[in-house]
Structure 1
Amino acid sequence: MEPKKRQGFFSVFFRRDNIFPMIAGVSAGLYPLLFYYTNNYKMINSWGHLGYFVSIFILTPIVLFFIVNKVSKINFFKKLQPIALPFLNFFFFFSYLNVALYAGFSWIRTLIIFGVAVLLALLLRKFFIKIIGFQLILAVIGVFTLTPVVIKQLNYSKEWMTQPDNIEAAVFKKKPNIYYIQPDGYANFSELKKGHYNIDNADFETYLKESNFKSYPNFRSNYAATLPTNSAVFMMKHHYYNNGSDFTETIDARNVIVSDNSVLRILKNNGYRTFFLTEQPYFLTNKPKLGYDFCNFSTKEISFVTTGLGDPRDVIEPFKNYMETYSEGPNFFFVEIFNPGHITNTIDDSKGVEGERKHYIESLQESNKKLRLLTKNILENDPEALIIIMADHGGFVGMTNTSETYTKNTDPDFVNSIFSTILAIHWPNGEVPEFDNKLKTSVNLFRILTAYLSDKPSYIDNLQPDESYIIINFGVPQGIYKYLDNEGKVVFIKK
């Protein structure tokens, strides 16, 4: 009599009676996975994220469903067998959707999902096969939804990053320490005095003047959000929201901002040590390779499931420590603070026009405190520093929520509330370049600074248009529209 052949793990695992539990596990996680990727692709477009999410959304339920199916066949658990897999399927499906929608975990929502899963398992267990079929149909729809998102990324062209001259080879004739401080959503002093803002900010304006900062009235951003603005700033080029190929946020923006860009190349070519300090890891959610020498966040400590926004981390103390430790320059600091920020993004969270304005005023005062602490520390220890305070966009004051920007509105106060941004510069030794009158929009900031530091005014010949652009989804055909022309006048021209 021949000895019985031993069955391998995979032959046992994939036996016919084990296939159904595994399909049930796949169906529980596949659509939520595709849904999450479709809506958050630019925050999670790394191989590490893909491996993590496939493990959590697909492999984990496959293994767990397989084990539970085996255990439920034991006599002690046989009464639970009819609802075991349906319960797990519903629980995982809605739990994963919860993660996909909120990019986070909540015990309250999990307990609610648990109760709903128990109820559905009891009521719908007879229709379980049909429900699995429906989940798989959703997954097929999810594939078709995700595909164009991935194709846009694969077809992403970096042609817009090409410089029209040899500015990346610029040689600085002077090398002061450079401090670029970005207070999120801080409108220009000229706009704060009027329009929808009408805010008295004279104390801080006076402080900057007495500290030998030069303010630039009517300065504005070229884009209406943090990522598109900063990717244009650090590349010193317009991207036009990837020429309209995407109506959410700029493709690959995080990698452009913190990994590699024209500004970082120029600085490193001139021997600068580079620092990135931020209160929130918003630029780091996709765990990009850091092009900066130092950062107060490690990509390893950033969760795979996150919006990059939460409780702010202090940047003042690490900034002081870095300044003390690396007192010998030249150094470049990019310091990002999230005050005053902007009004709420959704109508559900809105406090109304006046309520949002009051909140902005409170946050503006907090921003002023941080800016005073940072600039005082710099000026006490580095009085000949080049200090730039420039925001990424305005505060959107005058609206109930920021989603109003997606509908056409050519009222000047409305438009300037979006794009008006502070620019104040402390020029080393008070020596202001004669071409600083070219400072009108954020996209040209570092090209003008490079011309100043290299004593090569010819770089000014290739300034980008001082135009501002926005995404419009409602009221007119969807697209990218020019909202402010080269002179800062409101227009409405489709790109």
Structure 2
Amino acid sequence: MEPKSKQWIRAFFLKRENRFPIVAGVSAGLYPLLFYYTNNYVMINSWGHLGFFLCLFILAPIVVFFIAHKISLKVLPHKWQPKVIPFLNFFFFLSYLYVALMAGVNWIQIFGIVVLAALLALLLQKFMFKIIGFQLLLAVIGVFTLVPVVIDQLKYSEEWMLQPDNIEAAVFKKKPNIYYIQPDGYANFSELRKGFYNIDNAEFENYLSESNFKNYPNFRSNYAATLPTNSALFMMKHHYYNSGSDFTETIDARNVIITDNSVLRILKNNGYRTFFLTEQPYFLTNKPKLGYDYCNFSTEEISFVTTGIGEPRDLIEPFKNYLEEYAQGPNFFFIEIFNPGHITNTIEDSKGIDGEREHYIESLRESNKKLKQLTKAILQKDPEALIVIMADHGGFVGMTDTGESYKKNTERNFVNSIFSTILSIHWPKGDIPQFDEKLKSSVNLFRILTSYLSENDSYLANLQPDESYLIINSGAPRGVYELIDDSGNMVFNKK
């Protein structure tokens, strides 16, 4: 005989009055859920995110719709009761779509959605079954768009991370404190003086020279966005945008950068404490396990619905506190600041070529201010530090928006605006290795530093090609293209 619990469940769902609010609740959240996952998968690819979003997009509307339906039967006039589920369906569907598009919603927007949902409920109540059917049809389409994204993740191979030698076992002969400071979008001094930039930055350039930094002209990134650059940087290997899966969001990049990579292994094997300080939790949106010993953000305080970009958090004072508290090294600091950044991502938000350039100049001044504060604090406490200032990519100045970079364009100023990056190094005791001439692109930075610290130049035999890559969507067949070759020449070769 069937257990009573199963009999009750079957009876519950067989009742038409129970099925309608449940199906309406599911239909309100299912397509927005699939849409959100399709467009943000690599930012939310954790079991914790899955549980949260199932509760938010599916379970919550089911519960709210069912309870509201039961209450409305008892307290509302007969003519208003049939409008409750349509109103809730439109409200949840539109709210979830807005969250999926904008990663958040404020009270003014909620009020607007309430008004719109009420109007739609009044006008379209009699078409509710068709509307729910349409929402479920959208969900079916959403499944077909999400599946390739998931398949790309499942097919993802970590083979690119394998090192060609035993560099992870490198033994340092000297162990200075290492400070890697990454100012987002900071172009190289050599490019700032010309091309699309044409910016006078001599005051800060002179400050670094007077502080015994060596500036490396014509240095460049290998990739055009923060995550691709940093995942290649810390693995000391090319990934080629995972064969073109995404321009900005390479697969598992946050886990590579924050949880485990070749550089962190080398440092920990040599007894380094590791610190990650950032103004924004951009690298933490998928709540990766922290491979660093210390971080100024905890994953618990990161919202499940976020882009990781918001009001910047001060890191100067926390950094100074760490300098005081952990005066005895060896320490490694990865410090990420979000100035000067790059021009806007979308044409809708663009101030035009000149306006975006002026905004970049303003942000560059702010970046210089922060970099001075950081370097002065370091040199005061730790004058023999190894300090590396290196950006993740250029500022895209000379374009209306970063979307222009997706189009085929091999003009020198255009390409360098994307890839030109600052590299300035304070070498301990002015001890500059002869092989520092090999510092040409970001992918090889830590392999060269490892050779320097271990006094073992055999690791230089496996430097990666100093090539720069971009995903092209327009003007040529879509794919990953090499735009700068190993010798620094402008090319256009499909990978």
Q: Please report the TM-score for the alignment, with normalisation by the length of structure 1.
A: 0.97
- Written as runs of structure 1 = structure 2, the 5 A alignment for 1:436-451 is 436-451=436-451
The corresponding residue for 1:482 is: 482
Determine the C-alpha separation between the residues in 1 that align with 2:71 and 2:382.
69
- Written as runs of structure 1 = structure 2, the 5 A alignment for 1:211-230 is 211-230=211-230
Bigger shift: 30-39 or 109-118?
109-118
Amino acid at match of 1:16: K
- Written as runs of structure 1 = structure 2, the 5 A alignment for 1:220-369 is 220-247=220-247, 249-369=249-369
Determine the C-alpha separation between the residues in 1 that align with 2:23 and 2:329.
60
Structure 1 residues 151 and 248: alpha-carbon distance in aligned structure 2, compared to 1, 3 A threshold: farther
Determine the C-alpha separation between the residues in 2 that align with 1:6 and 1:59.
20
The corresponding residue for 1:182 is: 182
Report whether the alignment pairs 1:84 with 2:61: no
Task: Please report how far the alpha carbon of residue 11 of structure 1 lies from its aligned counterpart in structure 2 after TM superposition.
Answer: 5.2
Task: Please report how far the alpha carbon of residue 247 of structure 1 lies from its aligned counterpart in structure 2 after TM superposition.
Answer: 4.9
1:222-273: CA deviations, max 9, x gaps?
0000000000000000000112344552110000000000000000000000
Determine the C-alpha separation between the residues in 2 that align with 1:75 and 1:26.
24
Determine the C-alpha separation between the residues in 2 that align with 1:304 and 1:117.
26
Counterpart secondary structure, 2:469: strand
Task: Please report how far the alpha carbon of residue 76 of structure 1 lies from its aligned counterpart in structure 2 after TM superposition.
Answer: 4.0
Counterpart secondary structure, 1:333: strand
Bigger shift: 476-485 or 7-16?
7-16
The corresponding residue for 1:460 is: 460
Counterpart secondary structure, 1:459: helix
User: Does the CA-based 8 Å contact 2:228-2:248 persist in structure 1?
Assistant: no
The corresponding residue for 1:44 is: 44
The corresponding residue for 1:413 is: 413
User: Does the CA-based 8 Å contact 1:71-1:77 persist in structure 2?
Assistant: no
Structure 1 residues 280 and 363: alpha-carbon distance in aligned structure 2, compared to 1, 3 A threshold: same
Determine the C-alpha separation between the residues in 1 that align with 2:252 and 2:363.
30
Task: Please report how far the alpha carbon of residue 81 of structure 1 lies from its aligned counterpart in structure 2 after TM superposition.
Answer: 1.2
1:333-379: CA deviations, max 9, x gaps?
00000000000111111111111111101100100000000000000
Determine the C-alpha separation between the residues in 2 that align with 1:425 and 1:120.
61
Structure 1 residues 248 and 213: alpha-carbon distance in aligned structure 2, compared to 1, 3 A threshold: closer
Determine the C-alpha separation between the residues in 2 that align with 1:75 and 1:242.
57
Determine the C-alpha separation between the residues in 1 that align with 2:5 and 2:194.
82
Structure 1 residues 76 and 406: alpha-carbon distance in aligned structure 2, compared to 1, 3 A threshold: closer
1:318-344: CA deviations, max 9, x gaps?
000011111110000000000000001
The corresponding residue for 2:13 is: 14
Counterpart secondary structure, 1:73: helix
1:256-308: CA deviations, max 9, x gaps?
00000000000000000000000000000000000000000000001000000
The corresponding residue for 1:139 is: 139
Determine the C-alpha separation between the residues in 2 that align with 1:13 and 1:275.
55
Structure 1 residues 45 and 220: alpha-carbon distance in aligned structure 2, compared to 1, 3 A threshold: same
Structure 1 residues 110 and 241: alpha-carbon distance in aligned structure 2, compared to 1, 3 A threshold: same
Q: Please report the TM-score for the alignment, with normalisation by the length of structure 2.
A: 0.97
Counterpart secondary structure, 2:465: coil
Mind listing any 5+ residue stretches in structure 1 that lack a counterpart? Answer: none
Structure 1 residues 368 and 9: alpha-carbon distance in aligned structure 2, compared to 1, 3 A threshold: farther
Bigger shift: 60-69 or 158-167?
60-69
Counterpart secondary structure, 1:72: helix
Task: Please report how far the alpha carbon of residue 56 of structure 1 lies from its aligned counterpart in structure 2 after TM superposition.
Answer: 0.6
Task: Please report how far the alpha carbon of residue 75 of structure 1 lies from its aligned counterpart in structure 2 after TM superposition.
Answer: 5.3
RMSD: 1.3
Amino acid at match of 1:130: K
Determine the C-alpha separation between the residues in 2 that align with 1:76 and 1:56.
27
1:105-150: CA deviations, max 9, x gaps?
1222211111111111111111100100000000000000000000
Counterpart secondary structure, 2:480: strand
User: Does the CA-based 8 Å contact 1:398-1:417 persist in structure 2?
Assistant: yes
- Written as runs of structure 1 = structure 2, the 5 A alignment for 1:19-30 is 19-30=19-30
Amino acid at match of 2:404: E
Determine the C-alpha separation between the residues in 1 that align with 2:368 and 2:338.
12
Structure 1 residues 318 and 272: alpha-carbon distance in aligned structure 2, compared to 1, 3 A threshold: same
Task: Please report how far the alpha carbon of residue 14 of structure 1 lies from its aligned counterpart in structure 2 after TM superposition.
Answer: 2.6
Counterpart secondary structure, 2:305: coil
4+ residue runs over 6 A deviation: 5-9
Report whether the alignment pairs 1:102 with 2:112: no
Structure 1 residues 304 and 6: alpha-carbon distance in aligned structure 2, compared to 1, 3 A threshold: closer
Structure 1 residues 30 and 7: alpha-carbon distance in aligned structure 2, compared to 1, 3 A threshold: closer
The corresponding residue for 2:379 is: 379
Counterpart secondary structure, 1:74: helix
Determine the C-alpha separation between the residues in 1 that align with 2:10 and 2:340.
60
1:71-109: CA deviations, max 9, x gaps?
121154433211111111001000000100000112222
1:146-166: CA deviations, max 9, x gaps?
000001111110000000000
Determine the C-alpha separation between the residues in 1 that align with 2:413 and 2:360.
16
Q: Identity over aligned residues, as a percent?
A: 76
Amino acid at match of 1:157: S
User: Does the CA-based 8 Å contact 1:284-1:308 persist in structure 2?
Assistant: yes
The corresponding residue for 1:73 is: 73
Structure 1 residues 76 and 186: alpha-carbon distance in aligned structure 2, compared to 1, 3 A threshold: closer
Determine the C-alpha separation between the residues in 2 that align with 1:394 and 1:188.
8
Determine the C-alpha separation between the residues in 2 that align with 1:391 and 1:248.
16
Bigger shift: 167-176 or 110-119?
110-119
Amino acid at match of 2:13: F
Structure 1 residues 431 and 372: alpha-carbon distance in aligned structure 2, compared to 1, 3 A threshold: same
Determine the C-alpha separation between the residues in 1 that align with 2:248 and 2:184.
19
Determine the C-alpha separation between the residues in 1 that align with 2:303 and 2:460.
42
Determine the C-alpha separation between the residues in 2 that align with 1:295 and 1:378.
18
Determine the C-alpha separation between the residues in 2 that align with 1:39 and 1:440.
34
Report whether the alignment pairs 1:422 with 2:403: no
The corresponding residue for 1:118 is: 118
Counterpart secondary structure, 2:277: strand
User: Does the CA-based 8 Å contact 1:273-1:331 persist in structure 2?
Assistant: yes
Bigger shift: 236-245 or 183-192?
236-245
User: Does the CA-based 8 Å contact 1:87-1:118 persist in structure 2?
Assistant: yes
Counterpart secondary structure, 2:260: coil
Report whether the alignment pairs 1:169 with 2:169: yes
How many residues align? The count is 491
Counterpart secondary structure, 1:256: helix
Determine the C-alpha separation between the residues in 1 that align with 2:303 and 2:71.
33
- Written as runs of structure 1 = structure 2, the 5 A alignment for 1:397-408 is 397-408=397-408
Amino acid at match of 2:63: V
Determine the C-alpha separation between the residues in 1 that align with 2:246 and 2:353.
29
